Structure 1
């Protein structure tokens, strides 16, 4: 069935397939599907002669330092010989520098190398560049602003917006710890998750590709939902932590072993319950007008076909019920006082 959707270029059904348990599950299919999700063909003229843009830029030294640390930490790269690793690093350096040079409005951040590594390993150098560039434009542009305050910091605040909807006590604890200890009103331990789509944290390449399936097929805000989902799933352990270092250590030890399917399922459930587009438009602080968060109109149709898990829905129902009962009791108590 998926092959038929690919043949017909039925993006809605392809996106829904990517968000189902296990995602695509095949690297050969990903080589076909990811470029479609990234609309590579729609920008083929701009992307065609990309190697002519491989030249030094203001970020080249930082890029090279990060590239020298890349192609490690994944089970698929563990068997690489040093020669293979150096060859792939050269390709990775070419890809990143070309992306930055192609669009002067894109600014390199440490972690972009991890995302580009995944695209390089799924495709080849040419396809890796095209997918990396399109991802930068269509998904992570807010992470590639001149400063984090213009984009990714605003996304981090939305993690609290989501968590407040499902567990106010958990959110209050995180706010208290981070506001008191750092004066930063966002859960910074999850910053790398949002920036790199967990590519800096997961050792299994298959599991990591599953996360990419989900992010590419859903909404540009997907990494924020993933971060919120991980925190929500681990809420019992977080509530036992007493300070910021303890929370950081807990997640440092945990994330490489997380249940990716459970995280994707929880993220999808949150998206179905708390619409990403509404979350963005209701944000107190606004993103740039060209933010990818404003332009995925097709996702509204995708949302209609998403399954709704009962975990968050029941939490909302119970919370509302408790609130109504509390108000009713208060009103009854006041009326009783007046009557007597």
Structure 2
């Protein structure tokens, strides 16, 4: 009887035909799995900020759980309509519904707009949805957003927030998406003009001379590009990156996007409307990993503290940008962010929030910078933007501001 050596030959053949890219990808997947199992947070941050991030949604889901260090996620929960078990932290919303019940909760005034946006959602990704599964996903998305709005009735929905929630819904599923979008992680968003001025004066001068203010990148920063990029793989890759970085990283990334279009930008006619329109359109064919590398280089070159100093515009001492190192990235495996610290910071009224001082406050602001800063309400939107979570719902009662956001 003939001996069979098929398996051995097959193994040898497979090793021979495996490409260098395959070997690197498999090695990366092993490192991600090992980092998740051992809860090596520094390694997870490094992996999220390099090459293909967490590679796929299966690894991404597990890595995000570990990276967020959220106790409730250590145990799977059973879907049961609206989640009613988590105590909200957003005390600064003024009114919070404790121990709320779906059947008793009052309808939020923005629910009609949510429904209109949700009905137009999920057209770009996922790409394999049947009409039936698409409708189910839309129902889940609507439930997630409505739950947050009803828990925090003083919050205001803004168009684009549903795109943020969509990414968490796809990666985590309905039940685990709720605590992700409910977590209070504020994102201070200023300083893009300062970065442009420091990194590429000709680009800054051109944008400044045509009078274009930094509102063109607002949706990139508020929604972590999920409102502007149609390729979900790119969106999920960026979420890996932003989750593992200082909250100011979306600003570094936005700057990298602008600089990647330097040649086209400087060849344009110096027309305000044309330049604003050009800058506001996120380039769909861009390699996001190249932009990620550039954003990291900008962060290394101009740290959040140094950037604030050079801009002469210190963010709040209690901002997530300035407390990231002490209250978040310094945590060890098994540590949980301090709920009392979060409640203390989030309950501070605006009048008691003090800007950080960094000694030399940089050069005097030019006229256009003063124009942006003149209207404190508008600048607050740029300075205290929202990342994932309820913080992405802009907590403003100013009707003009909300209309401006919709029209921007």
- State the TM-score, normalized to the length of structure 2: 0.61
Deviations 1:283-310 (A, max 9, x none): 54454565322321168779xxxxxxxx
Distance 2:73 2:99 in 1: 12
Residue 203 of structure 2 is aligned to residue 173 of structure 1 = no
> Which 4+ stretches in 1 moved above 6 angstroms?
42-45, 48-51, 299-302
TM-aligned CA distance change 1:108 to 1:292, over 3 Å:
farther
**Structure 2 alignment gaps of length 5 or more:** 1-30, 75-84, 89-97, 332-408
**Structure 1 alignment gaps of length 5 or more:** 143-150, 180-185, 303-340
State which of 78, 86, 90 in structure 1 corresponds to 2:139.
90
Residue 284 of structure 2 is aligned to residue 256 of structure 1 = yes
Distance 2:231 2:134 in 1: 18
Residue pairs, 1:279-298, within 5 angstroms: 279-280=307-308, 283-285=311-313, 287=315, 290-297=318-325
Distance 1:225 1:297 in 2: 17
Give 2:294's aligned residue.
266
Distance 2:106 2:33 in 1: 39
TM-aligned CA distance change 1:72 to 1:284, over 3 Å:
farther
Comparing both chains, which one has the higher relative contact order based on Cα–Cα distances under 8 Å and sequence gaps of 6 or more? Answer: 2
Deviations 1:77-132 (A, max 9, x none): x3322222221111111111222333456542221110110000011101111211
State which of 119, 122, 129 in structure 2 corresponds to 1:80.
129
Give 2:192's aligned residue.
159
Distance 2:318 2:241 in 1: 23
State which of 218, 243, 249 in structure 2 corresponds to 1:191.
218
Residue 159 of structure 2 is aligned to residue 110 of structure 1 = yes
Residue 94 of structure 2 is aligned to residue 62 of structure 1 = no
State which of 55, 60, 74 in structure 2 corresponds to 1:25.
55
RMSD after superposition: 2.9
Give 2:396's aligned residue.
none
Provide the aligned length of Structure 1 versus Structure 2: 278
Give 1:245's aligned residue.
273
- State the TM-score, normalized to the length of structure 1: 0.73
Distance 2:330 2:297 in 1: 16
Give the Å deviation of 1:257: 1.3
Give the Å deviation of 1:279: 2.6
TM-aligned CA distance change 1:100 to 1:226, over 3 Å:
same
Residue 95 of structure 2 is aligned to residue 46 of structure 1 = no
Residue 234 of structure 2 is aligned to residue 207 of structure 1 = yes
- The answer to whether the Cα contact below 8 Å between 1:221 and 1:293 also exists between their aligned partners in 2 is yes
